[in-house]
């Protein structure tokens, strides 16, 4: 398989030609959600970005094992000494078992993924399901001397590690700068050094989520699960690790340290970081409280939203921006995306009505190559979309008879949309209200449109226009074409 896929590697800060370690297999790990609250749109963007990565790798013919974890042990709320984690806290607030919280939000997360047509990963491991693997990893790191135990907790020894391997490579930091900028922790830390981080944490008696370990009852540290689970399912060395930009430091940096500390191997060759979704220029985040849930976006039921937008409109909107750039959320941009997406899908539908000719004056191969080139260039979805618009224009020209295409070319053009719009970009034909709503609809529409046709033949245009306007008000748009009147129900 000869490929020319280039991926921007955050670790080397360069675009690199993608060469899988074990052709035709590709290992892809992406940091998943922490399931203690509803996912918001910013989270969706990240998973969407890697959904397209996954889809394209598969499209290229790779056998991809895509691992995306569920973090169901909450990260600590305050600092390492508080002993309270978010899932435990939420459980207390809602008077539920921690696993009830986890269950509830995991289901919610999966629903959201489905709504946006984000494919499920090949493996979706949970942190609580891999306590043993995490304990084993802690043991290994201890065995190598890169961690120490204090009072039932185990901390990663960053300075010791840094003496042997560079710490901070991914995020471009060096530990002296970090040291200088570490704020003073409240209370006395057990850590020997402020830079150290917990890989196993002792559970206070009140802590609900706890497991026995060689160091007493406790729970795994913040960053350990990804190291343990990526190693388990993808090996000590694998191809790609993805996640949001905000995880680069400290989370991913710690992951690398843990991997190297345990096995001597650093894990992924390529790090990919998706950028943030912003609202009025500010990062959408849980703590800022400026997030939208997918429901709010779809229904438009939010004070910052002027209307609702369909999931595929949102998908299109997000993919019109490169994954590594910040994307600012605005009503104007969403509305523009809605129209653009409608134009694209209509062109695709219109292609079914195109008449084939004996000759062709369209260049389908070139379009296809442009699609490929766009995606090969670090998954450049905005450029791919621009090519799809060219293809849409071509389709419309053929459909309207302005340009000619053979049956073969029409089929090839359809295939481009099939492959790139649906398979790679993951758009999904949205079920129109026409189907399923009522089996009476076609008959009724036939009746109404025939009445209008009769009115038109009688030059009774006011009646004809009234019918059109009234239908419009009901959300039914009609369009007179040489072949007759078409209708579309929103």
Partner RNA sequence: GGUCACGUGGCCGAGUGGCUAGGCAGAGGUCUGCAAAACCUCGUACAGCGGUUCGAAUCCGCUCGUGACCUCCA
State which of positions 141-160 bind RNA (CB under 7 A): none
What is the C-alpha to C-alpha distance for residues 377 and 118, in angstroms, rounded to an integer?
22
**Min CB(350)–RNA separation in Å:** 7
**Based on the number of CB atoms within 10 Å of its own CB, is 379 exposed (0-12), middle (13-18) or buried (19 or more)?**
buried
Contact 79, 453 (CB under 8 A): no
**Min CB(87)–RNA separation in Å:** 11
Quickly count: other Cβ atoms within 10 Å of residue 48's Cβ: 25
Q: Is 217 an interacting residue with respect to RNA (CB under 7 A)? A: no
State the Rg of the chain over Cα: 27
**Min CB(408)–RNA separation in Å:** 22
**Min CB(334)–RNA separation in Å:** 9
Choose the stretch contacting RNA; rule: CB under 7 A; options: 131-139, 201-209, 279-287, 437-445: 279-287
Rule CB under 7 A: choose which of 96, 150, 412, 478 binds RNA.
478
All residues at 6 or more sequence positions from 332 whose CB lies less than 8 Å from its CB, including other chains: none
Beta carbon nearer to RNA, 238 or 316: 316
Angstrom distances, CA of residue 287 to CA of 37, 77, 241, 245, 282: 12, 12, 25, 16, 12
Choose the stretch contacting RNA; rule: CB under 7 A; options: 42-50, 120-128, 296-304, 409-417: 42-50
Task: Please tell me whether residue 190 adopts helix, strand or coil conformation.
Answer: coil
Strands 14-17 and 6-9: antiparallel
Rule CB under 7 A: choose which of 124, 136, 295, 390 binds RNA.
390
**Min CB(24)–RNA separation in Å:** 27
Contact 315, 48 (CB under 8 A): yes
Beta carbon nearer to RNA, 62 or 222: 222
**Min CB(264)–RNA separation in Å:** 25
Q: Is 124 an interacting residue with respect to RNA (CB under 7 A)? A: no
Would you say the C-alpha torsion 66, 72, 78, 82 has a positive or negative sign?
Answer: negative
Strands 218-220 and 484-489: unpaired
Count residues near RNA (CB under 7 A).
89
Give counts: helices (H), strands (E), the chain: 17, 15
Q: Is 276 an interacting residue with respect to RNA (CB under 7 A)? A: yes
Specify the DSSP class assigned to residue 22: B
Beta carbon nearer to RNA, 20 or 131: 131
* Closest to 319 in 3D by CA, of 29, 53, 27, 5: 53
Beta carbon nearer to RNA, 188 or 287: 287
Site string for RNA, 288-307 (x = CB under 7 A): --------------------
- Looking at residues 396 to 415 of the shown chain, list those that interact with RNA (rule: CB under 7 A): 396-397, 399-400, 402
Beta carbon nearer to RNA, 38 or 133: 38
Task: Please tell me whether residue 320 adopts helix, strand or coil conformation.
Answer: coil
Rule CB under 7 A: choose which of 392, 410, 424, 448 binds RNA.
392
**Min CB(143)–RNA separation in Å:** 25
- Looking at residues 435 to 474 of the shown chain, list those that interact with RNA (rule: CB under 7 A): 456, 461, 464-465, 468
Contact 167, 175 (CB under 8 A): yes
- Looking at residues 340 to 379 of the shown chain, list those that interact with RNA (rule: CB under 7 A): 340, 343, 346-347, 377
Token pair, residue 398, equals 């053929």
What is the C-alpha to C-alpha distance for residues 234 and 238, in angstroms, rounded to an integer?
6
Q: Is 282 an interacting residue with respect to RNA (CB under 7 A)? A: yes
Element (H, E) at 274: strand 267-274
Rule CB under 7 A: choose which of 91, 380, 410, 421 binds RNA.
380
What is the C-alpha to C-alpha distance for residues 34 and 76, in angstroms, rounded to an integer?
12
Choose the stretch contacting RNA; rule: CB under 7 A; options: 17-25, 127-135, 241-249, 257-265: 241-249
The number of residues making up the chain comes to: 490
Choose the stretch contacting RNA; rule: CB under 7 A; options: 96-104, 118-126, 200-208, 478-486: 478-486
**Min CB(6)–RNA separation in Å:** 10
Beta carbon nearer to RNA, 20 or 83: 83
Q: Is 284 an interacting residue with respect to RNA (CB under 7 A)? A: yes
Q: Is 128 an interacting residue with respect to RNA (CB under 7 A)? A: no
Site string for RNA, 305-344 (x = CB under 7 A): ---------------xxx--xxxx-x-xx-xxx-xx--x-
**String of DSSP letters for 93-122:** HHT--HHHHHHHHHHHHHHHHHHTTPPPPS
Contact 313, 117 (CB under 8 A): no
Q: Is 171 an interacting residue with respect to RNA (CB under 7 A)? A: yes
- Looking at residues 250 to 269 of the shown chain, list those that interact with RNA (rule: CB under 7 A): 250-251
- Looking at residues 50 to 79 of the shown chain, list those that interact with RNA (rule: CB under 7 A): 71, 75-77, 79
What is the C-alpha to C-alpha distance for residues 35 and 73, in angstroms, rounded to an integer?
8
- Looking at residues 3 to 32 of the shown chain, list those that interact with RNA (rule: CB under 7 A): 13, 31-32
Beta carbon nearer to RNA, 233 or 316: 316
Task: Please report where in the chains the tokens 């590594």 appear, as a residue.
Answer: 324
Beta carbon nearer to RNA, 34 or 293: 34
What is the C-alpha to C-alpha distance for residues 308 and 331, in angstroms, rounded to an integer?
10
What is the C-alpha to C-alpha distance for residues 110 and 188, in angstroms, rounded to an integer?
41
Beta carbon nearer to RNA, 187 or 281: 281
């Amino acid at each position: 398989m000869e490929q020319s896929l280039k991926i921007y590697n955050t670790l080397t800060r360069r675009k690199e030609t993608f060469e899988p370690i074990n052709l035709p297999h590709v290992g892809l790990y992406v940091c998943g959600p922490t399931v203690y609250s509803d996912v918001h749109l910013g989270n969706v963007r990240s998973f969407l970005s890697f959904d397209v990565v996954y889809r394209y790798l598969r499209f290229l013919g790779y056998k991809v094992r895509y691992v995306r974890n569920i973090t169901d042990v909450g990260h600590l709320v305050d600092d390492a000494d508080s002993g309270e984690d978010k899932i435990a806290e939420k459980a207390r607030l809602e008077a539920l078992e921690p696993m009830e919280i986890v269950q509830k939000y995991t289901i919610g997360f999966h629903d959201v993924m489905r709504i946006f047509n984000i494919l499920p990963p090949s493996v979706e491991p949970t942190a609580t399901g891999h306590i043993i693997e995490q304990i084993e990893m802690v043991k290994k790191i201890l065995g190598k001397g890169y961690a120490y135990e204090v009072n039932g907790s185990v901390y990663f020894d960053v300075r010791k590690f840094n003496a042997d391997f560079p710490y901070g490579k991914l995020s471009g930091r060096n530990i002296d700068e970090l040291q200088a900028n570490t704020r003073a922790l409240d209370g006395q830390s057990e850590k020997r050094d402020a830079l150290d981080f917990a890989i196993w944490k002792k559970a206070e008696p009140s802590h609900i989520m706890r497991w026995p370990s060689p160091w007493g009852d406790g729970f795994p540290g913040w960053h350990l699960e990804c190291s343990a689970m990526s190693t388990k399912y993808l090996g000590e060395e694998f191809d790609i690790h993805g996640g949001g930009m905000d995880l680069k430091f400290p989370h991913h940096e710690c992951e690398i340290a843990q991997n190297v500390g345990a096995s001597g191997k650093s894990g992924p060759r390529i790090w990919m970081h998706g950028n943030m979704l912003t609202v009025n220029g500010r990062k959408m985040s849980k703590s800022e409280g400026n997030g939208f849930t997918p429901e709010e976006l779809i229904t438009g039921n939010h004070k910052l939203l002027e209307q609702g937008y369909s999931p595929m409109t949102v998908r299109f909107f997000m993919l019109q921006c490169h994954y590594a750039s910040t994307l600012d959320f605005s009503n104007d941009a969403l509305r523009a995306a809605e129209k653009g997406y409608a134009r694209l899908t209509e062109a695709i539908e219109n292609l079914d009505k195109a008449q084939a000719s004996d000759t062709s004056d369209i260049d389908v191969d070139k379009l296809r190559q442009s699609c490929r080139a766009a995606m090969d260039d670090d998954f450049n979805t905005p450029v791919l979309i621009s090519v799809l618009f060219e293809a849409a224009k071509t389709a419309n020209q053929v459909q309207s008879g302005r340009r000619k295409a053979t049956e073969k070319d029409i089929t090839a053009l359809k295939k481009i949309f099939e492959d790139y719009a649906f398979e790679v970009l993951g758009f999904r034909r949205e079920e129109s209200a026409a189907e399923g709503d009522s089996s009476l609809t076609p008959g009724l529409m036939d009746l109404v449109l025939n009445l209008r046709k009769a009115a038109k033949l009688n030059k009774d245009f006011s009646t004809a226009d009234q019918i059109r306007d009234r239908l419009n008000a009901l959300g039914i748009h009609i369009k007179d074409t040489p072949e007759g009147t078409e209708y579309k129900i929103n």
